[in-house]
Chain A
């Protein structure tokens, strides 16, 4: 079964800290997504990437295709970054219909 593993499951940080969340997957993919689920439940897409690195504000996402690994970094963390961060992959095989497989999420809490 194709799986997506995230670590850590829970993360508590102090405001201003540099944060890293990791995602690993088992077979070849065509794209990897990072999503954010707010405490109220809404889910928004942060990044979609298939190689290299993307940056948006204080968020940076990287992917290493050979190692089947991606990281989401948050610089100068703030309490408003507190959320669940979800990694999802689009596996690259026929019949997958481009459907996403989701990790269990990393719950981040940033303390003031």
Chain B
């Protein structure tokens, strides 16, 4: 049972380059999230999705785009990377509703933008 899988695990970009981070979950979860984690700060929500075909902005959405074309996949795109986007990115997913809102996290993607 793979759970939540993030690819790639590491990436180095030059300023202005683009890339897509992939998150895949095999638990049939409705909700999916993209967070960034920076030193001295808590996890911050970038974008999230409550179901296939829907996305919404979180706390820090600028410079990122997302898509949820299939229920199991949530993609995070950086169209023109900036050094401020150097961070560790985590994807998470959960079931909808009630007491089933424990989030399951991927292993993270460490991104450096030079």
Contacts and interface: CB of A to CB of B under 8 A. Distances in A.
Contacts of B50: 97
Contact of B58 (A44, A45, A99): A99
B42 A102 contact: yes
Contacts of B42: 4, 86, 88, 101-105
Q: Is the interface of B mostly helix, strand, loop or mixed?
A: strand
Interface string A76-101: 00000000001010100000011111
B64 interface: no
Interface residues of B, number: 24
Chain A: interface residue count, which band?
Answer: 20 to 34
Contact of B48 (A43, A45, A99): A99
A31 interface: yes
A98 B43 contact: no
Nearest to A9: B40
Given A99-B45, A104-B41, A45 B56 contact: no
Interface of A: 4, 31, 33, 40-45, 48, 86, 88, 90, 97-105
